[in-house]
Structure 1
Amino acid sequence: MLIADPDPERRLALVEAIRDGITSVTAVGRVAANVDEPGAAAYDAIVFGFGRSAKDNAQMLDEIVSQFSDALPRLLFFTPHPDAFLQQVALHPALGDVPRADNFGQLGLLISAALPSDTQSEQILATEQVDNADLAGAKVLIVDDDIRNIYSLTSVLETYDIDVQHAERGRDGIALLEETPDVDVALIDIMMPEMDGYETMRRIRAMPAIAHIPLIAVTAKAMKGDRQKCLDAGASDYIAKPVDLDLLLALLRVWIGRARARAEPFAPALMTAI
């Protein structure tokens, strides 16, 4: 895969979000200065990252139209600031049908669909594009000091037969994970008393027995730098309040799929031992 994004922080975050040990990722600031259209043919998919800057967005779109018209079926747009992006893409109707993702969860699904369908890729696609029925039986931990948030999320997730556990403090959440390390995903609220979400995630990542568990940070607001701060603390992904339930389900599909894919290679060995 090729990533093109003029913002170094966002470019690095994209690389980390995509890198899975299987996919080869190349990142550049400006695709026009580093890759021409024949060179782009070597990539299965090309992700263009767009930010708030109208100037940067316009320049990137102009480059795509002028140099990559034949590569449109392999293009993906990452648009964490959709309003700023839509203002510019409206000037380029030909690019209106390019698939775009507003967050890493959506991007994971688009990338799964774009990758070649060899055996490994098919397995990744099968696990990451899990439909709602396949969420049944998944274990999700919610760590949030507001019982109202816990109740509302639990009531929704349980309709998909998800096994929901909860804790109202970071310390209690860590203790629950130690007791049940087979949790598929943990939702960690950032604004909590005593131990906030950042510290909770850092401590989880420092504990080998539970460090593998995907952590989705739940932020009260999506301010510039919040995403990177969450990732630096150990978050696998993040979502802002008020929680968009469709987006949350998309994130759960991605991370539950990855958790199950990671667990599958160990199953034959365990059966043999038994």
Structure 2
Amino acid sequence: CLIAGTADEGALMARQYVPNAVILDMNLPDHTGLSVLDRIKRDVRTRHIPVHVVSVDDDSQAAMSSGAIGYLFKPVKREALVEMLEGLEARMAQRMRRVLVVEDDAQQAESVKLLLASRDVETVEAHSAAECFEMLGRETFDCMVLDLNLPDTSGFDLLERLSDDEAVGFPPVIVYTGRDLSHDEELQLRRYSKSIIVKGAKSPERLLDEVTLFLHQVVSDLPESQQALIAKSLNRDAALDGRHILVVEDDIRNVYALTSIFEPHGAVVHIARNGREAVQALDEAARGLSNPIDLVLMDVMMPEMDGLTATREIRSRSWGTSLPIIALTAKAMTRDQQECLEAGANDYLAKPLDVDKLLSLARVWMPR
């Protein structure tokens, strides 16, 4: 049994020892446990490790959509812990994984089956909601790929019916649809679905990435063609693509470094040279004069208005109460980190910046 006391220790030990399973707390002294989960699941060497989250906070939706196998709330009873450990043991012993593909188009269903095919995966088709419901009532599946357009009822109604019927198994669901979803439809689906993928030229590799993640498959055991598709999907980084990030930094070298980190992942980087410029830029975005900002990377030491003052000012505005802010500080002392959090930052990172950790925190604090 290995024990890690911080998020950074946990991520490092997972890479170093590749344990059979991880039990993860969300409230760690240096970073949120979600950043550990993200780093484990973004690394092809460790993404197959089952991670069970135990926490006092309700981050269950974020954790499960990031690849966690289960979630328990503290305080945890002994019986629940025993059941969790037995579940992890059963998962480790299981070799064959079963995927249910719910798709009315036979050609599309066959394409998905071919995409997911490997020696450890059995893929079963259902061409209607009724057929899906019947199969889940008598068989066990590790994952379900669902198209929303079914001949007898909508995918929305099917998901609601499955969630209400305790006699029917409800595996992790990946919605794989050809239709564009409204904001309300996406929110409705997020209650039941681990991931939503809109069909397109780049969607097959993302579907493979998501399915292998929830099946906890070892990437190196997959066929080479599937390994290549997963690598392609991880490089594209759907969590960062098209997101708008405000970098608040007075040193042009750091501005260039941060831009070169995020732009290759598809993010749009905006620049403010001090805290005053940052508040002004965010105010303009809130009034619709420029693109909405998804994340702020805030340097602490700057002229005119420092990062802590700017963070407090942002939090005092109606548009800034929930905006994710990551403080970038040259000091790594506990007191300095606490000052960042007390000023209103969601998280912090000490310079020189760890690129993988920065990308991980960005994904955690601005989820899709």
2:249 is aligned to: 144
Equivalenced residues, count = 178
1:230 maps to 340
1:154/1:203 Cα in 2 relative to 1: closer, same or farther (>3 Å)?
same
What is the match of residue 325 of structure 2? Answer: 215
Aligned to 1:14: none
Looking at structure 2, the residues matched to 108 and 172 of structure 1 have their Cα atoms a distance apart, in angstroms, of 34
Task: State the shift of 1:160 in Å.
Answer: 1.1
Q: Aligned residue for 1:98?
A: 22
Instruction: Please state how far the C-alpha of 1:78 moved relative to its aligned partner.
Output: 4.6
Counterpart of 1:255, as a letter, is W
Partner of 1:254: 364
Cα-to-partner distance string for 1:50-106 (whole Å, 9 max, x where unaligned): xxxxxxxxxxxxxxx7xxxxxx9xxx95515749x98xxxxxx9x896366763251
Q: Offset of 1:125 from its aligned partner? A: 7.0
1:235 deviation in Å?
Answer: 0.4
Note closer, same or farther for the CA distance 1:81–1:126 as it changes in structure 2 (3 Å cut).
same
Which residue in the other structure is 1:133 paired with?
Answer: 237
Judged with a 3 Å threshold, the aligned counterparts in structure 2 of structure 1 residues 256 and 126 are, in CA distance, closer, same or farther, namely: farther
Sequence identity (%):
38
SS at match of 1:225: helix
Distance 1:158 1:114, change over 3 A: same
1:181-220 alignment runs, 5 A limit: 181=286, 182-220=292-330
**Partners of 1:175 and 1:169 in 2: CA distance:** 10
Cα displacement (A) at 1:254: 1.0
User: What SS class does the counterpart of residue 213 from structure 1 fall into?
Assistant: coil
CA RMSD in angstroms comes to 3.6
Gapped runs of 5+ residues in structure 2? Answer: 39-50, 54-62, 72-171, 174-188, 198-212, 214-232, 287-291
Unaligned runs of 5+ in 1: 1-64, 66-71, 87-92, 261-274
What TM-score results when the alignment is normalised by the length of structure 2? Answer: 0.42
* Greater relative CO, 1 or 2 (CA 8 Å, sep 6+): 1
Contact in 2 for aligned 1:78/1:103 (Cα 8 Å): no
Per-residue deviation, 1:133: 2.7
1:1-274 to 2 correspondences below 5 Å: 77-79=4-6, 82=9, 98=22, 103-104=31-32, 106-107=35-36, 109=38, 111=53, 112=63, 113-116=68-71, 132-134=236-238, 135-181=240-286, 182-257=292-367, 260=368
Paired letter, 2:272: A
Q: 1:208 to 1:80 in 2, by over 3 A?
A: same
Q: 3-state DSSP class of the match of 1:228?
A: helix
Q: Name the CA distance, whole Å, in 2 between partners of 1:114 and 1:236.
A: 25
Q: Is the 8 A contact 1:137 1:162 kept in 2?
A: yes
Q: Tell me the amino acid that sits aligned with residue 228 of structure 1.
A: Q
**Cα separation, 1, equivalents of 2:333 and 2:300:** 13
User: Aligned-pair distance for 1:122?
Assistant: 5.7
- For each residue in 1:173-223, what CA deviation from the matched residue of structure 2 results, as whole angstroms up to 9, or x when unmatched? 111111123211000001112211111100000000233210000010210
1:102-152: CA deviation from partner (whole Å, max 9, x where unpaired): 63251464651144569757657779x995431110000000111110011
Contact 2:7/2:36 (8 A) holds in 1 = no
CA gap of 1:136–1:178, structure 2 versus 1, over 3 A, is same
